[in-house]
Amino acid sequence: MSIFSLLDFESEVQVLDKTRLSASKSFASKAVSEISSLTIKPELSGSAVDCFNSNGEDMFLDWVYSDTSIDIGPQNDDVIFNEGGSDLSVNLSAGTYNLSQFATELASKMQSVGTKTYSASVSNNKVTITSSGVFKFIKSSAQEQGFFSLKTLSSTHVSSEVEYGTKIVTVEASNGTITDEKKFYLKCYSESGDYLFCNTRDLTAHEPDLVKWIQDGHSSYNNVIRRSQKLIMAWLDEKGYVNIYGDKFTKKDVIDIEEVKQWSIFMSLRLIFQGMSNAVDDIFDRKSKDYALNEEAARQRVVLRIDSDKDGLADNNEGVSIYSGSLYRR
């Protein structure tokens, strides 16, 4: 018999974009008094907000994150690395860090258990960890953040571009006798890190009234546009397009967003109206089908210059022709 703190939330959000953190499904089990208080703390360094509602509904917090700081807690504090012998393990201190602070904390904690000297630097949103000897990451909060991939032993490891920070949302429900506190982790992207292929203004250029149908708890259609981005990249993967190393392409390999913008716009519009339709051949169903045709036509027109060799550029000899189904490079 207990109380259960639950949270419905977007696992990925963008800085300065409204999102909803809903704990309305939190509940007390049988033979336990009903919940009498509920708070939501949207990030580790923030304050808890009273979200209790006596009827058990609408216990939510609409929030806008202002930065991509990194919250470290029990689920993302572990670091395991190797200096050529046995694996070494250490935990980062709980707290909120900017990227430079995070890098410094990582190097400091590695040095505290390792036999080498470690230092950290940040440039162009990339973290560099340098050691007086060779090492490699086995598992780390940095890796979980998407900073580092597992590599062979080296004295210097440079991360990929850091696209997001982690936010820890804390929900606490109580009936005055029993209290349940749970933490939930979400990714908060910078606009450049999110790298969406279109924006809400692109959608309303086709459908001016679209803003009145924005989902409650949101201020844009970024969640739908992010879904279309993932579907486009999944389509390329399913069709077998890979880079010269045999790895599937990532969103940042699409150097010129303009080349996929129309595809993303029409797919996003199709998804929006598909979600609003509740009957066959209603107005939303017809709009969804119309935009599906536009989506297919836009995709067929794509000749996508893409970074096949991971040098950050899409050379003239690197690309994907969607119409012909070919990948070309020298």
Eight-state DSSP code of residue 8: B
Q: Residue 330 pLDDT more than 50? A: no
Q: What is the pLDDT of residues 244-277, one digit of tens each?
A: 888 899 999 999 999 999 999 999 999 999 999 8
pLDDT computed for residue 319 by the predictor: 66
Q: Worst-scoring range by mean pLDDT, 3-7, 46-50, 133-137, 159-163?
A: 159-163
- Top pLDDT among 204 and 76 is at 204
DSSP-based three-state secondary structure for 211: helix
Task: Taking residues 159-179, report their average pLDDT.
Answer: 94
In this prediction the pTM is: 0.91
Q: Worst-scoring range by mean pLDDT, 4-13, 41-50, 167-176, 319-328?
A: 319-328
Is the sign of the CA dihedral 118, 121, 125, 128 positive or negative?
negative
pLDDT computed for residue 48 by the predictor: 98
pLDDT computed for residue 290 by the predictor: 96
DSSP for 237-288?
HHTT-B-TTSPBP-GGGB--THHHHHHHHHHHHHHHHHHH--STTSHHHHHH
- Top pLDDT among 48 and 31 is at 48
At 220, list the tokens: 């844009």
At 214, list the tokens: 């924005």
Assigned CATH topology for domain 3-68+165-193: Immunoglobulin-like (2.60.40)
pLDDT computed for residue 328 by the predictor: 47
Q: What is the pLDDT of residues 95-151, one digit of tens each?
A: 999 999 999 999 999 999 999 999 999 999 999 999 999 999 887 665 455 567 667
Please count the other Cβ atoms lying within 10 Å of the Cβ belonging to residue 239. 12
Task: Taking residues 225-238, report their average pLDDT.
Answer: 96
Please count the other Cβ atoms lying within 10 Å of the Cβ belonging to residue 253. 22
| Domain ranges within the chain, ordered by starting residue | 3-68+165-193, 72-161, 195-328
Helix 258-276 / helix 222-238 crossing angle, nearest 10 deg: 110
The proportion of the chain whose per-residue pLDDT surpasses 90, expressed as a percent, equals 75
- Top pLDDT among 291 and 153 is at 291
Task: Confirm if 270 and 206 have CB atoms less than 8 A apart.
Answer: no
Separate counts of helices (H) and strands (E) for the chain: 7, 19
